[in-house]
Amino acid sequence: MPELPEVETVCRGIAPFIEGHVMRDVVTTRPNLRVAFPELFAERLNGHSVEQVKRRAKYILIYFKGGPCMVIHLGMSGQIKIVEPDASYQPIKHDHMFLHFDDGRSLVYNDPRRFGFVLLYDNAAALEDDKIFKQMGPDPFSDSFTPAFFYDALKRRNSPVKTALLDQRLVVGLGNIYVCEALFMAGINPKRLASDVSRKEASALYAAILEVLEKAIKAGGSTLKDYRRADGKLGYFQHEFQVYGREGAPCFVCNKGEVHRIVQAGRSSFYCSACQKK
């Protein structure tokens, strides 16, 4: 499943091509993905211009001037691509949605496994009122996600710090890969109770979270198989993993410890036996 950096990369990739442009038509090739496409899809969007493309957690949000807001979730295998006006594009298998704009460009959503979905809200207020977004914690790049907030939030959790970081009510969008890598950078064992993390450690972990996400965004993502950005290029952050997926291998940093793997809340956690003793 695409993680926060992949989704952020997609948002940054498509924004320059569709912001300010008017929707001319919406075409779907099937009635549903994980859920049905919105009713009166084209009628509700045609004639509206794209005001802004944003990301919330792992959701792509497209705000249209005059009200409508579209939410796209890529699921396990969803990909978005931009087709140029002069491209003689031939639809391929699993192209399920086409958004056609006034300059001749099209946004194409492809999803082989169809675990993704597309929602449409009448306005921004309706989107914010949906339980999907109402219960979310702050985004790691938002002004509300501060070192003080982060420390206080950890102090209220009696679960392992790894499990706490995956809880979208604490902070949104942190996937398993990035939590493992951030904990390693901060030198914190994933089995530690979140409430036992000191203020100094929380500050180091806060900085590590932002650093690992920024590196992944710059690299274009980390999906282990064939994730592609909006420009069609592969993401390569996986080549920079320090611990994730390296069970039994020596630590790159200390050259003393070995990367161990444990299972927490059904997810694999990887950590260095020396760097992350505590």
Separation of alpha carbons 45 and 41, rounded Å: 7
Give, as one character, the DSSP assignment of residue 233.
P
- In angstroms, what CA-CA distances link 12 with 61, 78, 99, 218? 12, 16, 17, 11
Secondary structure of residue 205 in the 3-state scheme: helix
Residues carrying an active site annotation: 2-3, 58, 267
Phi, psi at residue 232, to the nearest 5°? 90, -5
φ/ψ of 33, rounded to 5, equals: -115, -120
Burial grade of 34 (CB within 10 A; 0-12, 13-18, 19 or more): middle
